[in-house]
Structure 1
Amino acid sequence: MRLFFKGAMLAASLSFLPARPASAYDMDCAIMLCMAGGFPPGAVCTAAYAEMIRRITPWPSQPPFGICSFAAMPVAAGGPGGAMDLDISGPEYDWLRRSRVLWFDGQSHETREEPRQWNWNIRSCDHENSTCHDLARVHGSHAPWPASFQSENDQTLDYPGGGISFFRRAVMVEYGDYKGTMGHSQWIHY
């Protein structure tokens, strides 16, 4: 009984100390976890989506997500202790490595001697936003860019809209969830 009262007194005295915030996953972990679920509605995933878009929006552009650092299992529980980085090289993270950053650049011009011509380019970069290549590069077309194109992940994606414009640049993220279902962000004009 005496021990119960001592415990109650200790708990009561600790309750007057200022509360410390609980540590949470870092933003990269939140982006990956929310992406795995297809960015479900909620405060955490809304913030993670906004951060992913902020990172890819120029300049300087960053990868949509980085290294997820998380608290490792404590040594007492048989783990390594401390903090470690999430290794996404295994086959269970194929869905994450399929993420692509897509860049669009399009212009239209007209000279006195020739009819209006259209130029456009779609670049696709890996999930680290480092290894890039052209999906489409068209110069001197007498027709505007088409309504949609095929991505490397076999999605039919619309070209960026926004009304009649003779110059347009935009960026988007194409991502998959843990089941392999592909999704994408909206085009972000810059």
Structure 2
Amino acid sequence: MRHLLKKLLPSFAVALAVAGLPLPMAARAQTYPIDCAILLCLSGGWPASVPCARARAEFIRRITPWPVEPPLQIWRCPMGVSYETAPAPSSAERIFEAFFQNNNTGPRQSFPARDAADPIEAAWRTPEAPDDLVRADRALRLVQDRADIDISGPEFNFVRSIRVFDVRYARQHESGRDGDCNRSATVVLGTYGIQGDFAWQRSSIAALPADHVGLERWGQNCPGIYHRSVFVDWRDYEGNYGFEQVNY
């Protein structure tokens, strides 16, 4: 299975692009959930294809404020669909099955249970937190739904490798007659659990990856800095590193 995703991804990208054409199986390719495409294309290192370009664009759009969303929402990709009498020997193989839906039953797609207000937005926009900042005593861990199959195996490590650093506020400036340096920042980190569940937790400037740009002079003397950004990084199925940063 080590090279299966990378080997088959180009042919599945074609299948997605020509959805509806006859395929060598009972099912035909139908409209697919974008998160299935994100899952598949991310695992293969975002290969060049129209479906993967669209998937990557949605992946980045979700971390473009406001609000900041989980870039991969694996609970929206119905991987539990199967047309075999016996389960597939590996959960990874079901990624491909998720693209094929039965014409008679319509698409099968599960969505997470949500409150009336967006839970992530609600965590930021509170009456006690002006300017969309969160009080120090406010819990940030918001667990979403998870994959509908077991993805705890190493073939899905690429899902758990995704990290979202939301630098909501970072300011450094001199103040006072004695030139004191004032620094303040709010950074949160979004990560994925064993079954693809997404959660936020507090983080810090020091935890930002080396590829993050904009805070290199943080803590050095006291140059004026005002910075806000979202930084997402990941490793594909083969362990290759990738990242994107959106400043705002």
Calculate the TM-score normalised by the size of structure 2.
0.51
CA distance in 2, matches of 1:189, 1:113: 32
Alignment map for 1:25-174 (pairs within 5 Å): 25-66=32-73, 67=75, 68-70=77-79, 72-74=81-83, 77-78=84-85, 83=108, 85-104=148-167, 105-115=169-179, 116-127=181-192, 128-136=197-205, 151=209, 156-160=210-214, 166-174=225-233
> Greater strand percent: which structure?
1
* RMSD across aligned positions (CA): 3.2
Report the Cα offset of residue 62 of structure 1. Answer: 1.6
Q: Is the 8 A contact 2:164 2:233 kept in 1?
A: yes
SS state at 2:51 partner = helix
Q: Deviations over 1:30-76 (max 9, x none)?
A: 111111122223221221111112212233322111122257233xx
Q: Deviations over 1:55-105 (max 9, x none)?
A: 12233322111122257233xx41588747454232321221121101223
SS state at 1:130 partner = strand
CA distance in 2, matches of 1:118, 1:179: 39
Listed as ranges, the gaps of 5+ residues in structure 2 are 1-18, 22-28, 88-101, 110-147, 216-222
% same residue: 32
Calculate the TM-score normalised by the size of structure 1.
0.64
Larger Rg: 1
Q: Is the 8 A contact 2:173 2:224 kept in 1?
A: no
